């Protein structure tokens, strides 16, 4: 579908034109979302999703498409008919190894292999909507390209859910392959949907808005033995339990939370297979999230120290790996202030509200500002299916959204880009 742009006359407000065109994309945005929702793909496996996106973009006049970036990522460029800045808009494409539990007619029933295990797959974090809303914005901008004062770069990113690992997640991988140059990007904008309330509102926060995200893995190794003769063994199980408790005490005893909220969560403790066999190995893993780089460093040092101390006390060998990679999502403060009118225009007067505090969740969007060194702003679309009452959180099997809020997300992308372009 190609949109026809309203006739431009002297005095026509470019922002209002953009919002009108954004609204016209709503039926296709919902159709795109439902298709992607029904066919989810895991991190760095988004081949069919990328093909579907690329086909949609190639049908939009004026947009050039580059595929295969960071395996499955897409960079599309629309050069406006008038000179101006370069604005990048980003959406993530990947799904999660979560079984969807609802009665939607387009509910995901997909399966895939994740790290050697067969898993159910679903868009339990809403990335299907992120893609659809960015496609809607692309279609609106395509229709007004002759009057567009600048260039729009559309980034469809893989592997946001990859997590901190030996291999970087999608944002860093895309940056490393040059998506912020040629043309050189001046700002990057992004958004995230959730089942917050009231549906159809926008939430924002200047400065640090989401925490950094790190993953740690600890292995302990001793000697196994028989449950009836523990003195002949040196099992790793009990020391692992002691270490688990010691790790939980780090943020209460070592961290100044006034410097930036910091959370350590232990998500895995594995040791042993039978009650009468004393296991020689134990593995622990968890995450560290922080709004302070200083606290982040302190926690990393404390994890290593406590693991090594407890291992030595029990005569065990230990190995600690800490994978960093999700920087703080730090919204450029002056730029955030300039975009507030755009969000009010997108959602309606009084429907763009400031968050009371940063989130301890993590998002690799922070890499565009930190690693990419480009001013960036990230905001949130509330889309509870229950209207004024919040729904299930992101990553839940019951996660669901109100599709009527997608219209607000498309308007927010369009309004933010046009507001920035108009202010240069």
What residues are designated binding site?
A: 125, 127, 161, 192, 395
Show the tokens assigned to 338: 């300039």
Please enumerate, by residue number, every residue annotated as part of a binding site for Mn(2+): 125, 127, 161, 192, 395
Q: CA-CA distance, 118 to 291, in Å (whole number)?
A: 35
Show the tokens assigned to 319: 């190995």
Nearest alpha carbon to residue 287 among 258, 330, 323, 327: 323
Q: Which of 251, 369, 236 is nearest to 303 (CA)?
A: 251
SS3 state at 182: coil
Please name which of 210, 216, 215 lies closest in space to residue 363, comparing C-alpha atoms. Answer: 210
Active site (annotated) includes residue 403: yes
Rounded CA-CA distance 127/118 in Å is: 21
Bridge partners, 421 (sequence order): none
Distance between CA 73 and CA 158 in Å, rounded? 5
- Indicate if 283 belongs to the active site: no
* CA pair distance 300, 49, nearest whole angstrom: 37
The beta strand positions in 43-182, using DSSP E, are 63-69, 73-79, 82-92, 110-114, 117-121, 149-157
Cα-Cα-Cα-Cα dihedral of 78, 79, 81, 82, to 10°? 130
Distance CA 317, CA 142 (A): 60
Within 10 A of 297 (CB to CB), how many other CB atoms are there? Answer: 11
φ, ψ for residue 207 (rounded to 5)? 80, -155
- What's 180's DSSP letter? T
**Beta bridge partners of residue 207, listed in sequence order:** 331
Tokens of 284: 């622990």
Q: Among residues 326, 327, 363, 368, which one is catalytic?
A: 326
Contact 55, 167 (CB under 8 A): no
3-state secondary structure of 128: helix
Do the beta carbons of residue 96 and residue 72 sit within 8 Å?
A: no
Strand ranges inside 96-206, DSSP E: 110-114, 117-121, 149-157, 187-194, 202-204
247 with 176: CB under 8 angstroms?
no
Q: Which residues are catalytic?
A: 326, 403
């Amino acid at each position: 579908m190609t949109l026809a742009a309203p006739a431009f006359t002297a005095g026509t407000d470019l922002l209002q034109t953009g919002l009108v065109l954004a609204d016209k994309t709503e039926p296709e945005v919902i159709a795109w979302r439902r298709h992607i929702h029904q066919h989810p793909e895991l991190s760095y496996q988004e081949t069919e999703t990328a093909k579907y996106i690329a086909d949609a973009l190639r049908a939009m006049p004026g947009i050039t498409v580059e595929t295969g970036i960071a395996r499955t990522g897409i960079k599309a460029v629309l050069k406006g008919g008038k000179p101006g800045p370069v604005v990048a808009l980003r959406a993530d494409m990947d799904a999660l190894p979560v079984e969807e539990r609802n009665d939607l007619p387009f509910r995901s029933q997909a399966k895939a292999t994740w790290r050697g295990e067969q898993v159910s797959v679903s868009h339990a974090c809403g990335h299907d909507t992120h893609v659809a809303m960015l496609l809607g914005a692309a279609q609106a901008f395509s229709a007004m390209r002759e009057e567009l004062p600048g260039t729009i770069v559309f980034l469809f990113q893989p592997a946001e859910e990859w997590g901190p690992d030996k291999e970087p997640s999608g944002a860093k991988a895309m940056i490393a392959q040059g998506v912020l140059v040629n043309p050189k990007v001046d700002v990057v904008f992004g958004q995230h949907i959730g089942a917050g309330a009231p549906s159809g509102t926008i939430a924002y926060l200047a400065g640090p808005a989401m925490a950094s995200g790190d993953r740690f893995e600890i292995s302990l190794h001793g000697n196994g033995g028989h449950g009836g003769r523990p003195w002949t063994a040196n099992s790793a199980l009990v020391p692992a339990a002691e270490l688990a408790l010691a790790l939980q005490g780090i943020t209460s005893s070592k961290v100044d939370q006034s410097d930036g909220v910091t959370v350590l969560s232990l998500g895995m403790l594995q040791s042993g297979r039978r009650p009468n066999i004393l296991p020689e190995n134990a593995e622990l893993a968890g995450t560290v999230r922080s709004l302070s780089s200083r606290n982040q460093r302190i926690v990393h040092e404390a994890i290593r120290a406590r693991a090594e101390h407890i291992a030595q006390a029990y005569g065990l060998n230990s190995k600690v790996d800490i994978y960093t990679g999700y920087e703080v999502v730090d919204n450029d403060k002056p730029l955030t202030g300039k975009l507030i009118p755009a969000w009010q225009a997108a959602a309606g007067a009084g429907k763009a509200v400031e968050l009371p505090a940063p989130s301890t969740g993590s998002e690799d969007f922070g890499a565009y500002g930190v690693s990419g060194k480009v001013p960036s702003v990230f905001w949130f679309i509330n889309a509870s299916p229950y209207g004024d009452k919040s729904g299930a959180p992101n990553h839940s099997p019951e996660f669901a959204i109100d599709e009527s809020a997608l219209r607000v997300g498309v308007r927010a992308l369009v309004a933010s880009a046009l507001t920035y372009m108009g202010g240069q």
